[in-house]
Structure 1
């Protein structure tokens, strides 16, 4: 069998372009160069791209022949009814749905066909929304699995409150929670919601309906004429968030539990990241100079720094388009995506594995060598 060498000279990430350009897709439009990638999500060997003109593009990994590497090919294209920019895409593979935010509305699509679910009306007046991360992580249903398909819970933040929904084949309202001022960012795990307004992060217990202020987005007053720093947060584990706060000389990443207490150590960046993503145990950040820094969640140390790649623009989607989620080998994970890499076979070697005999006692050491022709 072939396994990864796990050698220390193989970095956690290999940077390579997966989709070279979307301009060719829009070459017949009035101004193809005005179309930009606004958000990206990946699932297995599929990449979903949201564009500034309301297009939703699905790319899938295709085999080009025995002597050519695999590459991503456009297999589906849909246009939102709004014709406005696609601001966020959230994939829920366990119910084969995609929640797509555009023009303060959430639309529901079937994946991978990208058919609009016309039986569910769009949710309007949305400032932010958050799907329960524990439900996003559920695996796709299997034909052979007897497990029932469970609904997916999510929150919608509006200007005067938070609305809780449950989604499967239809949309069900759960309850409303009053909230003044709304929020511009929301992340959820279980019954805990982390939101951010213009000034600070707040934890909300959706069961007890309590709010706990946590940390300011910026710990120093903004400089005149400078845009305020964007709030950024990730769900790290079932009971843990990572939130980013500008200190005046850099950005600090703080790990907090569901009570708002700090855990682990902190992460440090020299500037406020343009985008961050998590492929446990790595937190990857795209900085303003387009440098990519990779931290290890467990040690909080920088384990890789990639020089500025030749990006067309340093927008939020650049990180997920260009980072090949190669955890030391060609891999696929529920939150990652499949990446073709020509060098990957060179990083593998044959390994002899010893097998326990069928008659071995639990914890016993009776060993049968792995010899050709024997199992």
Structure 2
């Protein structure tokens, strides 16, 4: 039996194959791809329905204007086939601030075909948005990349996070969550990322989670706790609200449950339908003391929980020894320079 997995190490994409047998288990590297320009990798979106991976990479570039130097991020989106990780002959998309693939299309499984029975699977293209400094570019992708149109943004509008479901895009700028109806090209702000009193200058990380084809969950810090608000694509609140004593480091949807990781290492599981707490997993006993601020993670300990990662198609432990193989393995993030 063999299973594959993908790893991004700074600017290198690695594909591993796990060989399972009755005698031994081992990983071997099947593919190694270096992102053009050796730019650090910011995000990877796997789209099983079209067997493609969208990889966002970027680096800081120094710009000078009227003797004033400042730095901006020059991000690009590259396209790879999965599971082979072969680079696709598609020109990268440049000047990317953020991008969002339609979540409903990301959740579609890999098409199944059976030529021996005389049928093949029908594959639809996927739609995604690219937020740039001046607008939102609309694309579709299958074997080729097609540009549709661009929706202009108000001057000075940027994006630090974005999620899309169907015709609706929810994105966070430096201060607010915003909703855009992509068909009507209408934008309206929804809720501040932080509602803390004036004088609280700590930046809060925005969280946007797609719940369904017409529903998002957004998180807002009040200065004393974090509220989770369910909204429709039209910006209307639905259901009730969720609340956390501190601002979550990570959030994951496994409907009908929302799982969050808090700064002190606590994991809380809420029910989406009734907005109740279903389970609380306390922090590891060896974790360090609670953070001085509800927004800042504590000093990393030996068993500190650092992140919460969602897996659209589930999570597998490909090992007959199960938990015995769930251990940390050191991987170099930077390659050692070659001495000539």
Q: Normalising by the residue count of structure 2, what TM-score does the alignment of the two structures yield?
A: 0.76
Q: Of 110, 126, 130, which residue of structure 2 is paired with 1:140? A: 110
1:59 CA displacement: 4.1
The 8 Å contact of residues 82 and 102 in structure 1, kept in 2 or not, is answered as: no
Q: Of 336, 342, 353, which residue of structure 1 is paired with 2:314? A: 336
Which residue is equivalent to 2:65? none
Whichever of the two has the greater Rg, that structure is 1
Which residue is equivalent to 1:283? 258
The 8 Å contact of residues 265 and 305 in structure 2, kept in 1 or not, is answered as: no
Whether 1:49 and 2:24 are equivalent positions in the alignment is no
1:236 CA displacement: 0.7
Q: How large is the Cα RMSD of the aligned pairs?
A: 2.7
Aligned-partner SS, 1:263: strand
Q: Please list the CA deviations of residues 78-127 of structure 1 after superposition, one character each: whole Å capped at 9, or x if unmatched.
A: 2212323211111111100000111011111111111111x111111111
Q: Normalising by the residue count of structure 1, what TM-score does the alignment of the two structures yield?
A: 0.69
How far apart, in 2, do the equivalents of 1:273 and 1:168 lie?
35
Which residue is equivalent to 2:15? 58
Which residue is equivalent to 1:87? 42
How far apart, in 1, do the equivalents of 2:202 and 2:188 lie?
26
How far apart, in 2, do the equivalents of 1:221 and 1:75 lie?
53
How far apart, in 1, do the equivalents of 2:319 and 2:236 lie?
41
Which residue is equivalent to 1:169? 143
How far apart, in 2, do the equivalents of 1:303 and 1:96 lie?
36
Structure with larger RCO (C-alpha < 8 A, sep 6+):
1
Aligned-partner SS, 1:241: strand
The 8 Å contact of residues 161 and 173 in structure 2, kept in 1 or not, is answered as: yes
Which residue is equivalent to 2:51? 96
The 8 Å contact of residues 107 and 123 in structure 1, kept in 2 or not, is answered as: yes
Which residue is equivalent to 1:197? 173
Structure 1 or 2: more strand by fraction: 2
- Structure 2 unaligned residues grouped into runs of 5+: 59-74, 288-300, 323-340
The 8 Å contact of residues 158 and 174 in structure 2, kept in 1 or not, is answered as: no
CA distance 1:166–1:314, shift in 2 (3 Å) = farther
How far apart, in 2, do the equivalents of 1:209 and 1:185 lie?
19
Corresponding pairs, count: 284
CA distance 1:75–1:270, shift in 2 (3 Å) = farther
1:261 CA displacement: 1.0
